[in-house]
């Protein structure tokens, strides 16, 4: 299955394919795409005998002036244009997604990690962890919810935000946010990102299950996964309250699939060897942040409740979102 992520020893499961690299290159730098030269040549042949538009026949000084005027006129900062569109619509005033219901996860112990050859090095050893009571978002943060935050703050727009249509995508999980965006949103709501231990207990319960719904492998009735590398809000992201059969023991949606979810913790390969038994908070520092749950583009092995994934906290992509907790 096609993956898209930076590869490092800290990320043993994911690799990036040449196809994903090409697609990303074409989207971000079309002039450098493999099709760039042939496309330009074709356009040149079509226009070879056509009189250039007036703009191109102006004297250099006037061309410079006209270019600057066009630039100032047409390149309105994206965030301002988006905010203006949001303010003029009533999309932000619709109440259903303003608040996410939160589910109580009771205090107590659970089994974290796994032993044996099925587990990767950073998922071992299996160990018991005690957590106090906390409350977890019922579902992932949606585009409509993030739009409220975006309109109220000066944060940069998420990746692919210009493709969001709140009339169609308001119940889809927000993507294209980095770790600091997710942390800032939760703080703005008076909540926080979950610790890795809180996330795993919410997905796994206390019986050590492999997936949120039990120990049987995923299918299309249980989770949104294995859709490949091509992104579209409408085609690959599912509503945050879907897949009823795939809910966790506590009734949480999409703890496997749809989008990877940022958690609070820094990553360390051997953290389980030294982590405290009571309410672990993760390493004090690191290079990567941990994500959990798998996404719409992943194979079943990435949807395991104990599975760990890492990215640089500055990463924005099409398969990463988040949810919040409070103590």
Kind and range of the H or E run holding 169:
helix 166-169
pLDDT of residue 61: 53
For 173-200, write each residue's pLDDT tens digit: 999 999 999 999 999 999 999 999 999 9
Q: Which of 200, 193, 232, 221 is nearest to 323 (CA)?
A: 193
Architecture of the domain defined by 82-326: Alpha-Beta Complex (3.90)
Paired tokens of 180: 């600091």
pLDDT of residue 232: 84
The set of residues, in sequence order, having a beta carbon less than 8 Å from that of 318 and lying 6+ positions away, is: 4, 159, 160, 175, 176, 231, 297
Distance from the Cα of residue 51 to its chain's centroid? 48
How many whole angstroms separate alpha carbon 312 and alpha carbon 217?
29
For 197-232, write each residue's pLDDT tens digit: 999 999 999 999 999 999 999 999 999 999 987 888
pLDDT of residue 231: 86
Residue holding tokens 């590869």? 7
- Pairing verdict, β 309-311 and 325-326: unpaired
The set of residues, in sequence order, having a beta carbon less than 8 Å from that of 78 and lying 6+ positions away, is: 157, 161, 162
How many whole angstroms separate alpha carbon 215 and alpha carbon 200?
15
* pLDDT above 80: residue 172: yes
Enumerate the domain spans of the chain.
82-326
pLDDT of residue 297: 95
For 4-61, write each residue's pLDDT tens digit: 333 333 344 444 333 333 333 333 333 333 333 333 333 333 333 334 444 334 444 5
- How large a percentage of the chain has pLDDT more than 90? 67
Q: Which of 200, 238, 202 is nearest to 221 (CA)?
A: 238
The answer to whether 142 and 240 are in contact (CB under 8 A) is yes
The answer to whether 327 and 267 are in contact (CB under 8 A) is no
**Edge-to-edge strand order for the sheet containing 320-321?**
309-311, 289-292, 260-266, 320-321
pLDDT of residue 17: 35
The set of residues, in sequence order, having a beta carbon less than 8 Å from that of 172 and lying 6+ positions away, is: 142, 143, 233, 237, 238, 239, 240
Confidence of residue 84 (pLDDT cuts 50, 70, 90): low
Global pTM value = 0.74
Outline where DSSP puts E strands in the chain.
102-105, 108-112, 127-131, 134-137, 260-266, 289-292, 309-311, 320-321, 325-326
């Amino acid at each position: 299955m096609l993956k898209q992520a930076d590869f490092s020893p800290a990320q043993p499961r994911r690799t990036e394919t040449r196809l994903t690299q090409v697609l990303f290159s074409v989207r971000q730098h079309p002039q450098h795409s493999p099709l760039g030269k042939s496309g330009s040549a074709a356009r040149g042949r079509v226009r070879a005998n056509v009189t250039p538009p007036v703009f191109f026949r102006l004297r250099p000084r006037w061309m410079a002036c006209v270019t600057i005027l066009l630039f100032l006129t047409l390149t309105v900062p994206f965030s301002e244009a988006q905010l203006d569109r949001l303010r003029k619509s009533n999309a932000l005033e619709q109440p259903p997604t303003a608040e996410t219901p939160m589910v109580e996860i009771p205090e107590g112990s659970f089994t974290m990690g796994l032993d044996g050859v099925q587990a990767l090095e950073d998922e071992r050893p299996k160990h018991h962890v005690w957590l106090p009571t906390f409350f977890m978002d019922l579902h992932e943060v949606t585009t409509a919810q993030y739009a409220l935050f975006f309109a109220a703050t000066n944060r940069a727009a998420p990746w692919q935000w210009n493709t969001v249509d709140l009339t169609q995508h308001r119940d889809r999980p927000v993507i294209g946010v980095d770790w600091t965006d997710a942390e800032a949103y939760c703080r703005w709501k008076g909540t926080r990102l979950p610790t890795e231990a809180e996330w795993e207990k919410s997905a796994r319960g206390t019986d050590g299950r492999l997936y949120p719904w039990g120990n049987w492998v995923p299918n299309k009735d249980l989770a949104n996964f294995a859709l490949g590398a091509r992104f579209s809000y409408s085609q690959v992201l599912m509503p945050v309250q879907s897949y009823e059969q795939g809910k966790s023991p506590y009734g949480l949606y999409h703890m496997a699939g749809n989008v990877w979810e940022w958690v609070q913790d820094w990553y360390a390969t051997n953290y389980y060897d030294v982590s405290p038994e009571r309410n672990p908070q993760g390493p004090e520092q690191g290079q990567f942040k941990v994500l959990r749950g798998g996404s719409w583009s992943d194979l079943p092995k990435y949807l395991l409740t104990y599975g760990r994934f890492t990215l640089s906290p500055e990463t924005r992509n099409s398969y990463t979102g988040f949810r919040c907790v409070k103590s």
